[in-house]
Structure 1
Amino acid sequence: MRSLTAAFATLGACAGLLVTAGAGPAQAAPTPLPAHVFAPYFEAYSSDSPADLAQKSGARYLTMAFVQTEAKGSCTPYWNGSTSQPIASSVFGADFATLRSRGGDVIPSFGGYAADNGGTEIADSCTSVDSIAAAYQKVITTYDVTRLDMDIEDNSLTNKAGIDRRNQAIKKVQDWAAANGRPLQVSYTLPTTTSGLASSGLAVLKSAKTAGARVDVVNLMTFDYYDGAAHNMANDTKSAATGLYDQLAALYPAKTPAQLWGMIGVTEMPGIDDYGAAETFTTADATAVYDWAVAKGINTLSFWALQRDNGGCPGTGGSDTCSGIAQDPWYFTHTFAPFTRDGGPVADDFSLSVAPGSASVAPGASATATVSTQVTSGTAQPVALTVTGAPAGVTASVAPGSVTAGGTARLTVTAAASAAPGTYALSVTGTAGALSHSAAFTLTVSGPGGGSGALVNGGFESGSLGPWTCEGGGSVVTSPVHGGTYAVQGIPAGDRTGECAQNLTLAPNTAYTLSGWVQGSYAYLGVRGGASASTWTSSTGWTKLSVPFTTGASGAVTVYLHGWYGQGAVHGDVGKIKDAIKGQNKRYGDIAILYRTNAQSRVM
């Protein structure tokens, strides 16, 4: 281990230039971390030996939590803020050396919830940028590490002065490392929503860019959402990371898709997290996340924390020593451990999407949509495009039939006069060698009187949202449902109602009734735009709501379902709607509009 510990005897006594190595024998630079690394958090405040627990679990790399000051206002770093655990080779040094001898390494992490909450995160505590930078340098040189992690949450996310000082200090240390030929990465570990960073987390990255500090990895804490919703934790990890990818693409427009995915890390919390059973990361979730992480080529896979990787406390949430679910000891470590690997060639891959994702046409009419492809890793390859699933009387084609990944094409669907009314699921597929990706397109052929104003996919029985759009987290679900196979779920949060909505044009100056089955706290069903009407209920069971309204001169309205801020999820579903003209029951879906004229009604 190469250490400059003695050079920091006066650390905190003065602010000035960073300490640099003096003359002496040339020393080899430390080995950088692998391009893809599994590094679970290790609770350094426990009495466990990092080397011993790593050997028992099979984890070669550890994220050491946490480094902080002993009191607010201090500039001196300690492990866990304990003066009995200074940054010195005598504390953890032998463990780290043993880990390296086995082909592993450590990532010291600054901050953590307790420090961020109590003001002992070093950039919040210390007002000298030079002293903060010197503390970072001390950890680097004492333990010869190549990455520092900044775990920033709670009050640290709103401390703008601390955020800016931290990034300015990171820039200083990065300049020092470059001048001394030392590899150095910096990761930010931040809380997330299911659709990416909240504005406070994004502000941390924007501050880093302003300061000229390089952020190598943005590591999302994909747990403790506290949004009152039931979660599929694996799917939420993917959607959170995809949202982060889009945010990073906007922040760093010169980076390629592979580089952007290579900046992303995810940290799970195995079993039941601090929120409770609604946020349970299962053993099946672990496999799904591992496969996804490998396919996307993200940088870091982690979880909180190594000491929790056992099933010793069934039903207990947020424990430091067990997961709270039935599992084999070290199950999550064994599942994630193969993720660690060096870069090597990046596999070519692409994504495919269709916008809009649905259309309604009358017999004899046509509709179009744009098919978009994008390179997600490697280089652009030719992609052959096809469309399947068109019913009798409907033709569907994509032109051109082949594009280079990154290009677009046009989907055209035409309904003949003989096309049967109904809703149909089409699939647009792109193929490049052995790779194949598909996107759904929902086509509704309207029946007599339906016209272009028909409510499309009112039953969500296509299995997808289109053409409905939902605020973050909204989706089609298979449970709970009132009838059929699917229902829609809206996810309110502190800053949103979880609305799902669809725009349509009805006959002008005409009376209608919107009806649907809903359940959940403060579940609203309504219209706005060319008409304004709504009603609501708050129930744990299904309740049918009806909303009479009259369109204006344009006939344009927006139909919506939503909950209320910070309340639980809401759902929309229904059994059957009776067609009063034909006197028979027809399934039209979860939410329907009834057109009323001359005391008759028919489903739109």
Structure 2
Amino acid sequence: MSAGLVAVGGGSALAAPDSLPAHGKPMPAHVAAPYFEAWTGESPAALAAASGNKYLTLAFLQTAAPGSCTAYWNGEAGQPISRSTFGRDIATIQARGGNAIPSFGGWSADTTGTELADSCTDVDAIAKVYESLVTTYGITRIDLDIEGDSIDNAAGIDRRNKAIAKVQRWADRTGHSVQFSYTLPTSTTGLEANGVAVLQNAVDNGARVDVVNIMTFDYYDGATHDMAADTKTAAAGLHTQLAALYPKKSAAKLWNMIGVIEMPGIDDFGPEETFTTQNAVTVEKWAEAKKINTLSFWALQRDNGGCVGTGGSDSCSGIAQKTWQFSHAFEPFTSGGARH
């Protein structure tokens, strides 16, 4: 797995409701939540409305420099975890019945020592950052995108999972709802050994992992892929791996721990890895049938056909498509999930 999910600086706000809930609503059992590139200066609430998405994963949070225990949006010191940064956008999304999922890490942070648990050696301080997102924004899930150097940083992995466990004990004491998802690279047959090790360490630390999102793109194996078929085999492999980690969970509960993240159109590797609009329809139907937890893609700003033939762009899919076609293909999953 290579390029993965990348971030560089920026942010935005939108005039909207001033009230954020003290205790947010738990996430649906089945949710579509594309990634939003938080550095572009665009409004997540505005793009959520335009694209029809009720839930967005906001990427990314990281420290401004290695060694710091303070997380900022996009690693920018002018964008702290506060109402002034994305607060009104998140309140607007919540007022429409959805929510935001803040995401830590990504390729850029994970390869520069600025992923929070890689940067900060104080478990209590890491936990306080996670808690601050819950109390500041009323969010109920935090995503941890661990790849690059971070997925092999044993000390960071252990600190992160210890912090998750502390936050979960805090949430139980204070009546907050908070889930944690891990976003991890995958092969076409499941996690590599280092991804499994991240989850094993969570088990060892008593940290509950609610969702494992696998990045079903950027396989970098030189083969031409049917991206929908590979999503299915990667998820089936993950299901087997989760069964070994969580032997007391039923097959259905294990499927409901799984999320998949697609990259619409031509991904970073090239045309051999092209996720088509028909792939999106196929994957959504499969996700409903398997009752997985989360459908996502990188990223909302790519969900347009503005650069046919261009691979790996942050602002377009590289294929001919209608604007928001991937969002609309995945949209039934959230409402459909409520029926299960």
Q: Report if the CA contact (8 A) 2:69-2:126 is conserved.
A: yes
Structure 1 position 28, deviation (Å): 6.4
1:484-539 per-residue CA deviation (whole Å, 9 max, x = no partner) reads: xxxxxxxxxxxxxxxxxxxxxxxxxxxxxxxxxxxxxxxxxxxxxxxxxxxxxxxx
Q: Aligned match of 2:148 in 154, 165, 185?
A: 154
Q: Report if the CA contact (8 A) 1:43-1:306 is conserved.
A: yes
Higher helix share: 2
**Corresponding residue of 2:329:** 335
1:105 aligns with 2:69: no
1:105-136 per-residue CA deviation (whole Å, 9 max, x = no partner) reads: 10000111100011100000001111111111
Q: Distance in 1 between matches of 2:180 and 2:128?
A: 15
Q: Report if the CA contact (8 A) 1:265-1:298 is conserved.
A: yes
Measured at CA, do residues 342 and 89 of structure 1 come closer, stay the same or move farther in structure 2, by a change above 3 Å?
farther
Identity of matched residues, %: 64
Structure 1 position 342, deviation (Å): 7.3
Measured at CA, do residues 48 and 345 of structure 1 come closer, stay the same or move farther in structure 2, by a change above 3 Å?
closer
**Corresponding residue of 1:189:** 183
User: SS of the residue aligned with 1:249?
Assistant: helix
**Corresponding residue of 1:95:** 89
**Corresponding residue of 2:110:** 116
Amino acid at match of 1:174: Q
Amino acid at match of 1:103: G
Q: Distance in 1 between matches of 2:139 and 2:278?
A: 34
Structure 1 position 103, deviation (Å): 1.1
**Corresponding residue of 1:249:** 243
Q: Report if the CA contact (8 A) 1:44-1:80 is conserved.
A: yes
- 1:405-444 matched pairs, under 5 angstroms: none
Q: Report if the CA contact (8 A) 2:152-2:194 is conserved.
A: yes
Amino acid at match of 1:32: P
Q: Report if the CA contact (8 A) 1:29-1:182 is conserved.
A: yes
Amino acid at match of 1:86: P
1:59 aligns with 2:49: no
Q: Aligned match of 2:198 in 191, 194, 204?
A: 204
Q: Aligned match of 2:129 in 128, 135, 138?
A: 135
1:267-317 per-residue CA deviation (whole Å, 9 max, x = no partner) reads: 000000000010000011001101100000000000000000001001111
**Corresponding residue of 1:317:** 311
Q: Report if the CA contact (8 A) 2:180-2:208 is conserved.
A: yes
Q: Distance in 1 between matches of 2:234 and 2:118?
A: 27
1:440-466 per-residue CA deviation (whole Å, 9 max, x = no partner) reads: xxxxxxxxxxxxxxxxxxxxxxxxxxx
Structure 1 position 343, deviation (Å): 5.6
Q: Report if the CA contact (8 A) 1:62-1:107 is conserved.
A: yes
Q: Distance in 1 between matches of 2:336 and 2:329?
A: 18
Q: Report if the CA contact (8 A) 1:41-1:304 is conserved.
A: yes
Amino acid at match of 2:80: P
**Corresponding residue of 1:175:** 169
Structure 1 position 102, deviation (Å): 1.0
**Corresponding residue of 1:227:** 221
Deviates more, 1:163-172 or 1:130-139: 130-139
Amino acid at match of 2:100: V
**Corresponding residue of 1:238:** 232
User: SS of the residue aligned with 1:327?
Assistant: coil
Q: Distance in 1 between matches of 2:253 and 2:332?
A: 21
Structure 1 position 30, deviation (Å): 1.7
1:296 aligns with 2:282: no
User: SS of the residue aligned with 1:179?
Assistant: helix
User: SS of the residue aligned with 1:82?
Assistant: coil
Q: Distance in 2 between matches of 1:97 and 1:30?
A: 11
Amino acid at match of 2:64: E
Q: Distance in 1 between matches of 2:175 and 2:127?
A: 17
Structure 1 position 204, deviation (Å): 0.2
**Corresponding residue of 2:3:** none
Q: Distance in 2 between matches of 1:341 and 1:84?
A: 36
Q: Report if the CA contact (8 A) 1:164-1:207 is conserved.
A: yes
Max radius of gyration: which structure? 1
Q: Distance in 2 between matches of 1:269 and 1:343?
A: 22
Q: Distance in 2 between matches of 1:275 and 1:344?
A: 35
Q: Distance in 1 between matches of 2:181 and 2:207?
A: 11
Amino acid at match of 1:266: V
Q: Report if the CA contact (8 A) 2:288-2:336 is conserved.
A: no
Q: Report if the CA contact (8 A) 1:34-1:341 is conserved.
A: no
User: SS of the residue aligned with 2:335?
Assistant: coil
| Residue-pair matches, total | 320
Q: Aligned match of 1:126 in 108, 120, 126?
A: 120
Q: Report if the CA contact (8 A) 1:270-1:309 is conserved.
A: yes
Q: Report if the CA contact (8 A) 2:32-2:296 is conserved.
A: yes
**Corresponding residue of 1:214:** 208
Structure 1 position 101, deviation (Å): 1.1
Q: Report if the CA contact (8 A) 2:291-2:337 is conserved.
A: no
Structure 1 position 345, deviation (Å): 6.6
1:81 aligns with 2:75: yes
Measured at CA, do residues 131 and 342 of structure 1 come closer, stay the same or move farther in structure 2, by a change above 3 Å?
farther
Q: Distance in 1 between matches of 2:80 and 2:143?
A: 18
Q: Report if the CA contact (8 A) 1:35-1:342 is conserved.
A: no
Amino acid at match of 1:324: G
Measured at CA, do residues 344 and 281 of structure 1 come closer, stay the same or move farther in structure 2, by a change above 3 Å?
closer
Q: TM-score, normalised by structure 2?
A: 0.92
Q: Distance in 2 between matches of 1:28 and 1:160?
A: 34
1:305 aligns with 2:276: no
Amino acid at match of 2:71: P
Q: Aligned match of 1:284 in 273, 278, 288?
A: 278
1:119-158 per-residue CA deviation (whole Å, 9 max, x = no partner) reads: 1000000011111111111111111111000000000011
1:399-445 per-residue CA deviation (whole Å, 9 max, x = no partner) reads: xxxxxxxxxxxxxxxxxxxxxxxxxxxxxxxxxxxxxxxxxxxxxxx
Higher strand share: 1
Amino acid at match of 1:129: V
Q: Report if the CA contact (8 A) 1:309-1:333 is conserved.
A: yes
Q: Distance in 1 between matches of 2:71 and 2:331?
A: 30
1:2-38 per-residue CA deviation (whole Å, 9 max, x = no partner) reads: xxxxxxxxxxxxxxxxxxxxxxxxx863211111000
Structure 1 unpaired stretches of 5+: 1-26, 347-604
Amino acid at match of 2:76: S
- 1:560-571 matched pairs, under 5 angstroms: none
